[in-house]
Amino acid sequence: MNVRVFNRNRNRRLRCVAAGAALSLLAAGCGVLSPDDPDRDEPIVVGTTSAPSTLDPAASWDGSWELFRNVYQTLLSYPNGATTPRPDAARNCAFTDSSNQVYRCELRTGLTFSDGDPLDAAAVKYSIDRIRAIDVDGGPAGLLGSLERVQAPSEHEVVFHLNKPDATFPFVLATPAMSLVDPDTYPADAVRRDGEVVGSGPYVLKSFEDGERAELVRNDRYQGYAERRNDAVTIEYFDSSPAMVKALRAGRIQVTFRGLAADDVIDLESGTADEEDLQLFEGTGADISYLVFDPDDPWTGRKPVRRAVAQVIDRAAIAHDVYRDTVDPLYSMVPQGVTGHTTGFFDEFGDPSADKARAILTRAGIDEPVPLTLWYTTDRYGSETALEFKALERQLEASGLFTVTLRSRPWKTYVAGYQKGEYQVFGRGWFPDFPDAENFIAPFVGEQNALGTPYRVPAITDDLLPRSRRASDRAEVVEEFEEAQRVLVDDARLLPLWQGRQYVAASEDISGAERALDPSTIMMVWELHRKTSW
């Protein structure tokens, strides 16, 4: 992975290569902050455009995980630099059979939630069982498709019985969706909605204002792998990248996490602004952007229409003209850098061509412009989203084959709409649950999936995925994932557009930003700290 660090006022630029899916490097500098500087004890303020949609893990399969990782705990997680799950609330975990169907975890002793209640095997079982009992539409229950039952045979022992071999189950347990909650404060059959959090993670949620901020303070009861380098972090939620960067330049926040717009990245990178010293870290991302087609719509339910759209769209133009090359064109649902990546859509369709798209429609007996309504969210994936969809509109209408209407909603109502099947075509982003090709295919297919819309594709759900889950060595299942992507390309119900890069900006006095992203690019805020000496 290529990582770049831009230190603007010193005109210093470092380039290095590191392993893993998150930003990781060693950088050195010089300067002084007095050890008795009063700012040292102030909370570090992190800005992001990705506000949580819920505070209850049982209801979230989205960017809410960014907060969950820091206030809740999971059995397994990703210590800095790890790309496979390691123990967190657990002391150790392992499959106990040769078929990868019985998974056992032994808990750390003396674990408690932030309110002092014990975190034992019964609490773990309760936490996992309630996800399936509540079964929120488009929620994390879809991750537990291979789980048959959970047992708690003793105070510190949890056993997961799977209904089929699944070597990826440890990755599932490491996702923030599997956050452990206190049975005394989280109802077994309903989502908690009082705005409070009781977890066992590195921080306690001191206060929360929906869409505004989350104040985190050190959890003194925490036992886990995280080595906290600060005592408090405040997360500020912004509606746009320019507002977030303005706050960074003014010193109101010290770090930006998710949501930097292309123009702001270019500005910070080139050093054209007049702000004080800022650091910009760039690394390979695993997030993707894609379109989803409604299979029940009279038009998009027809495969030739979807394939004609795939033939027209110019990904390279979107990456260059809209995102100014801060993202890369993507031709499969599995991004570059993940084992199993292909260029299936390019191999199938080649360069954009209105003539080839017209031939696809003509063969299907479609000789009139196809009406399409494209939906996007206004406040989730950055301020370029509106520009991206205007570019898609221009490309599709320029072909003479489509008439396009653009519609948009804020994220919370947007989610409800696509879960109800209200959108003919809609845009989504995906930040991986875990760094495996499985996680760029399985979440979107089957009766239960992250889109809230059943996608029945037996070749994948009944054959390719089950076969791939038998292999603990994920390098051995490349052929299965390549074949799964060929199926998705042919059907064209999911249309990948681009793959992101990760940018984190920080003020000069902050260290740890380059280490603060896990393999799913979720920020571990405990890595952030103010420099006391350089």
Identity of residue 515: R
Residue 372 to residue 237: CA distance in whole angstroms: 33
343 pLDDT more than 50: yes
Residue 19 pLDDT grade (very low, low, confident, very high; cuts 50, 70, 90): very low
Task: Retrieve residue 16's tokens.
Answer: 């290095």
Beta bridge partners of 426: 292, 375
**Nearest CA-CA partner of 152 in 126, 131, 133, 178:** 126
Q: Which residue has the tokens 């003014």?
A: 250
Tokens of 382: 């950055």
Whole-model pTM? Answer: 0.79
DSSP state of 470: T
- Tell whether the model's pLDDT for residue 300 goes beyond 50: yes
DSSP 8-state secondary structure symbol assigned to residue 455:
B
Q: Per-residue pLDDT for 386 more than 90?
A: yes
Q: Which of 29-38, 223-232, 379-388 has the weakest average pLDDT?
A: 29-38
CA distances from 460 to 95, 391, 456, 464 (A): 25, 32, 9, 5
pLDDT at 31: 39
Residue 361 has pLDDT above 50, yes or no: yes
8: pLDDT strictly greater than 50? no
Residue 11: what are its φ and ψ, rounded to 5°?
Answer: 55, 35
Cβ within 8 Å of residue 416, ≥6 positions away: none
Residue type, 223: Q
Provide the token pair at 144. Answer: 């537990």
8 A C-beta contact, residue 229 and residue 203:
no
Lowest mean pLDDT among 7-11, 56-60, 78-82, 321-325: 7-11
Give the model confidence (pLDDT) of 475-511 as tens digits. 888 999 999 999 999 999 999 999 999 899 999 999 9
> DSSP readout, 115-157?
TS-B--HHHHHHHHHHHHHH--TTSGGGGGTTEEEEEEEETTE
Residues ≥6 apart with Cβ < 8 Å to 211: 51, 237
pLDDT of residue 448: 76
Q: Which of 178, 180, 227, 226 is nearest to 200 (CA)?
A: 180
Least confident of 19-33, 187-201, 384-398: 19-33
The yes-or-no verdict on residue 513 having pLDDT over 70 is: yes
Query: At residue 486, what is the residue type?
Result: R
The answer to whether the CB of 431 falls within 8 A of the CB of 64 is no
Instruction: Say yes or no to pLDDT of 7 above 60.
Output: no
Identify the residue with better confidence: 92 or 379: 92
- The pair phi, psi for residue 177, each rounded to 5°, is -60, -30
Gap between the Cα atoms of 396 and 520, Å rounded: 33
C-alpha–C-alpha distance, residues 169 and 398, integer Å: 46
What's the rounded Cα separation, in Å, for the pair 286 and 443?
Answer: 15
User: Average pLDDT in the 452-478 region?
Assistant: 89
Cβ-based neighbour number of residue 487 at 10 Å: 17
Structure tokens at 53: 């949609």
Angle at Cα 444 formed by Cα 440 and Cα 447, nearest 5°?
145
Q: What is the pLDDT of residue 483?
A: 96
DSSP state of 112: B
pLDDT > 80? residue 36: no
Residue type, 257: F
Query: For residues 374 and 393, is the Cβ–Cβ distance under 8 A?
Result: yes
DSSP string, 487-520: HHHHH-SEEEEEEEEEEEEEETTEE-GGG-B-TT
**Cβ atoms 532, 33 nearer than 8 A:** yes
3-state SS record for 426-439: EEEEECCCCCCHHH
Over residues 31-55, the mean pLDDT reads: 74
Radius of gyration of the chain (CA): 23
**pLDDT digit string, tens, across residues 118-144:** 999 999 999 999 999 999 987 899 889
Return the structure tokens found at 528.
């952030």
Among 16-20, 140-144, 277-281, 389-393, the range scoring the smallest mean pLDDT is 16-20
- Of the spans 27-41, 255-269, 396-410, which averages the highest pLDDT? 396-410
pLDDT digits (tens, 9 = 90+) for 420-447: 899 999 999 988 888 889 999 998 998 8
pLDDT exceeds cutoff 70 at 16: no
The whole-chain average pLDDT of the chain stands at 89
Contact in structure between 288 and 441 (CB atoms under 8 Å): no
Predicted confidence at residue 412, as pLDDT, reads 82
How many helices, marked H, and strands, marked E, lie in the chain?
14, 21
For residue range 158-169, list pLDDT tens digits in order: 999 999 999 999
Closest to 210 (Cα-Cα) out of 237, 187, 184, 230: 237
Give the model's pLDDT for residue 498. Answer: 97
Q: pLDDT by residue (tens digit) across 219-274?
A: 999 999 999 999 999 999 998 899 999 999 999 999 998 888 899 999 998 865 45
Q: How confident is the model at residue 11 (pLDDT cuts 50, 70, 90)?
A: very low
For strand 44-48 and strand 255-256, is the pairing parallel, antiparallel, or unpaired? parallel
Residue 25 has pLDDT above 80, yes or no: no
497: phi then psi, degrees, rounded to nearest 5: -115, -55
